[in-house]
Structure 1
């Protein structure tokens, strides 16, 4: 798949086939994503790839803690609620997804189930926990670099027929993830990527988020008219 095609066609996948992903394919995807640029070639990222029993333990732990009312616990600074245009975009994609799934505004049970799917890593066969070096916690460049690698990860997966969604919900109960994955203390959990073979019958997988037009994104200075 050409790069332009992968970028334009990629979308967040939230429904997966019950089908394992070969370790060799995951290694290939990660090796390619590892080519991402980083400041001074620091390469601050670390990936912990979970499937099978360890992933089921994370799902169970996340679900139990959330249903018990235990507040989310992330290891990076929480930005809090979105406001303004950012809140508008957040609501817009939620509306798109709920309309595709046929979830009515008053249907609290199905809305709650949708939220819990995120904490279950969308029932994907693989979850990749994305971390970076703790001694760079206050270095926002390390966050940027790790994000660049993560985007490369989902593009690489897409180009090989796999689907993925970058899923902050999956690590909101970070103590569970850290314990099950035995993540070293010198690493900070940033996010996770739910990954697997897309389920073509899961209608939310067809949703494509709307993007700002170019004039609202970029300014050009010093160019000829």
Structure 2
């Protein structure tokens, strides 16, 4: 396994990438080469989709366009503007009991690091690259699975190249602003955003880690 200074491990096995990937909530200002992002996306395109439909589009924001988005996002956050995402957000109280317990346990364990989450989120985690994944209006529900497979493939491919990632609602909270600033067509629903960059090792917010339930809590073997 090769290493490259701050950029971390590359040429990982799938299992190594799965274990090393975690959500990073503050990135450094180190730029990410466009060529590297294109390599990540080309690898992620190998993800399966229904009858090879590949129903999604990817809008890549970096440089000046992303800074405009970041400024607009911060202004709307400061004004207390409520989010109006294309994919409705369900109240935590409406999730399953299992999901509610997991979310409550995660929130209870945030400690001091949790206090910094709002400020860094308002700045889109300072990510130097944000990918906006969209689906055409009227999409099949199956396409949500396909887009999820693409998104997970993106973050694993990024991990393999020494990049950190963050998949977050925060990126797509204000879709009308995104359509205006990035010229995203009105006939595309903005489903999820993924930030890419290099992890800020000094940021307290990056000490947050999530645990997973024991496998037997979600697995039923029918043999």
TM-score when scaled to structure 2?
0.88
The answer to whether 1:122 aligns with 2:125 is yes
Q: For residue 33 of structure 2, what is the aligned residue in structure 1? A: 22
* Aligned equivalents of 1:116, 1:206: Cα separation in 2: 16
The answer to whether 1:94 aligns with 2:107 is yes
- 9, 13, 33: which one aligns with 1:2: 13
Give the alignment of 1:32-47 within 5 angstroms: 32-47=43-58
The answer to whether 1:60 aligns with 2:71 is yes
- Unaligned segments of structure 2, at least 5 residues: 1-11
* Aligned equivalents of 1:7, 1:63: Cα separation in 2: 32
Give the alignment of 1:135-150 within 5 angstroms: 135-136=138-139, 139-150=140-151
Q: Tell whether the 8 Å contact from 2:28 to 2:126 is kept in structure 1 after alignment.
A: no
Offset at residue 188 of structure 1 (A): 0.8
Offset at residue 85 of structure 1 (A): 3.0
- Unaligned segments of structure 1, at least 5 residues: 104-110
Q: Tell whether the 8 Å contact from 2:24 to 2:166 is kept in structure 1 after alignment.
A: yes
The answer to whether 1:131 aligns with 2:128 is no
Q: For residue 106 of structure 1, what is the aligned residue in structure 2? A: none
Q: Tell whether the 8 Å contact from 2:25 to 2:117 is kept in structure 1 after alignment.
A: no
Offset at residue 196 of structure 1 (A): 0.1
Aligned residues: 210
The answer to whether 1:216 aligns with 2:185 is no
Classify the secondary structure of the residue corresponding to 1:36. Answer: coil
Classify the secondary structure of the residue corresponding to 1:148. Answer: helix
**Coordinate RMSD, CA, aligned:** 1.7
Offset at residue 191 of structure 1 (A): 1.1
TM-score when scaled to structure 1?
0.87
Q: Tell whether the 8 Å contact from 2:28 to 2:199 is kept in structure 1 after alignment.
A: yes
* Aligned equivalents of 1:73, 1:195: Cα separation in 2: 23
* Aligned equivalents of 2:36, 2:107: Cα separation in 1: 32
* Aligned equivalents of 1:178, 1:116: Cα separation in 2: 24
* Aligned equivalents of 1:210, 1:44: Cα separation in 2: 32
* Aligned equivalents of 1:16, 1:24: Cα separation in 2: 19
